[in-house]
Structure 1
Amino acid sequence: MSESPGGTAGRGEEPRHVTLATTIREAIARGDYTPGERLPAERELADRFNASRTTVRLALSALKSQGLVGSGQGQGTYVRKARPIRVLAMDQDRAARRAEHHAATFNSEAARQGRVGRQDIREVGQVPATAETARWLAVPEGTDLLVRRRIMLIDEEPYQLGDSYYLADLVKDTAIAVPEPVEEGVLSVLERAHGKPIAYYIDELSFRMPTPEEAELLKLDPGVSVVRAVRVAYDGDQQPLEAFDQLLAGDKHVLVYEVSGE
């Protein structure tokens, strides 16, 4: 039976390029192709799997869209090197976890997994509240806020973009307003400035493709999506204290949630 250009061997069967993509993905999972290793050329893959060059291209395109392989000028197609970090999303900002390493939450989470995390400060300054940030912090639009924009890196590779927003009057005289890393963590400084502990958080998660600027900052391969995670911290009186707007590289994170069965 001849193979159609779309890669379908026959009616009702799985498209040929989907089957081939699955075969290559399983080979990568077994370790047949290791991170950073170049895959065989299209012609060699076509001969090996008795497939057309069109089918091979469609299969590789599917794997690129899944963030599993990448390509570049003079590099051919290669297995991506991304090493995902596991994020205990329900637990990472709890006081006990923050105190465990006496360090910023992101750095602490990386250290727990034997990795080295750090943050590059992109900007610290006052901005007026937009409709979105005003909703998060329950203030009128135009209210003076202080923003800290950062790139979070693990082992010197960018993993996240993070913009944190605070009421300017609350944090203007603290380390949060200084364009340097806050080694003890901004949440500890924030609680001290506010005079009350953080009682709980509310998360909003959304999923989309990155903008060209975001893809460049996070060094994302084509087809890799991002997760936008907005976490708002509240005190016991339901007053918002911080809105943390994170953009996570989709292929570099595993979000773990523990949900009570009660």
Structure 2
Amino acid sequence: MPDTAAGEPIHVALANTLRDAIQRGEFSPGERLPAERELADRFNASRTTVRLALSALKSQGLIGSGQGQGTYVRKARPLQVLAMDQDRRARRAENHAATFNAEVARQGRIGRQDILDVSPASATAEVARWLSMPEGAPVLVRRRVMLVDEEPYQLGDSYYRHELVKDTAIAQPQPVEEGVLAVLERVHGKPISYYIDELSFRMPTPQESTALKLDPGVCVVRAVRIAYDEDDTPLEAFDQLLAGDKHILVYEVSAE
């Protein structure tokens, strides 16, 4: 029987014991856990207690199950995102515009983006706030999914003032070879000066879970990056939805 704190349910203590075993490496990513009966015998617990413990670990995204697969430790291969660095002008030039693909390649993996839709739309209240424009004003939106090793990692919707980009490569449903930010700077006539990030964390909708192939209990990170020129005019709002178990966000913050 696993050790229990005062008043702690047995299944919670068992879930904690199994979690510790996984984190110590006793069960490797992708490895099947022992069957319920074996776990019940090992920990002198009822099978109901074992089921509750496994259910708790599933809800936390630590283990998964599938038809004919039993219960297994999930394979977590998070992507490191250098959040403060990825859109710097020097990095964009170094990566020849395909920033996401290049960053994924740096980590020995293969990245690509599938464009889902490029079309005009009306600014919602949220988009209007990001782009400092009236609600309902015309915008252009580019929707895409970012994949790593053919597995969906991110959903990304980018919003622009329609009048600014309507006659550019940004308005076409295909990759922008010179890079979206380079196009923006050229047609706007001023360079991007800085970015502001808005991060929030929540559970996904059913549609988002399907699109990102999330296991139960896995949260998403919403990262909205707004690009501004030197006059504080917003040029792009990039609304990303990141699978919470597939990313490590890295921020370098100056101590000056």
> Match of 1:244, as an amino acid?
F
Residues 137-216 of structure 1: matches in 2 within 5 Å? 137-216=131-210
Aligned to 2:55: 61
Calculate the TM-score normalised by the size of structure 1.
0.91
> Match of 1:39, as an amino acid?
L
How much has 1:111 moved relative to structure 2? 1.7
> Match of 1:213, as an amino acid?
Q
Residues 50-89 of structure 1: matches in 2 within 5 Å? 50-89=44-83
Which residue of 21, 27, 32 maps to 1:27?
Answer: 21
Aligned to 2:91: 97
Calculate the TM-score normalised by the size of structure 2.
0.93
1:70–1:79 contact (8 Å) kept in structure 2:
yes
Does residue 1:41 correspond to 2:43, yes or no?
Answer: no
Query: Identical aligned pairs, as a percentage?
Result: 78
How much has 1:260 moved relative to structure 2? 1.7
Q: Which string of whole-angstrom CA distances, capped at 9 and with x for unpartnered residues, describes residues 199-255 of structure 1?
A: 111111111111111000000011111111111100010000000011000110111
Question: After alignment, is 182-191 or 128-137 more displaced?
Answer: 182-191
How much has 1:112 moved relative to structure 2? 1.8
Q: Against the structure 1 CA distance between its residues 182 and 26, is the aligned structure 2 distance closer, same or farther, given a 3 Å change threshold?
A: farther
User: How much is the aligned-residue C-alpha RMSD, in angstroms?
Assistant: 1.9
CA distance in 2, matches of 1:188, 1:15: 57
Question: After alignment, is 225-234 or 60-69 more displaced?
Answer: 60-69
Aligned to 2:114: 120
Query: Mind listing any 5+ residue stretches in structure 1 that lack a counterpart?
Result: none
How much has 1:129 moved relative to structure 2? 0.7
Secondary structure of 1:54's match? helix
Q: Against the structure 1 CA distance between its residues 233 and 40, is the aligned structure 2 distance closer, same or farther, given a 3 Å change threshold?
A: same
CA distance in 2, matches of 1:211, 1:224: 11
CA distance in 2, matches of 1:23, 1:130: 47
1:200–1:235 contact (8 Å) kept in structure 2:
yes
**Paired positions, count:** 256
Aligned to 1:245: 239
2:3–2:13 contact (8 Å) kept in structure 1:
no
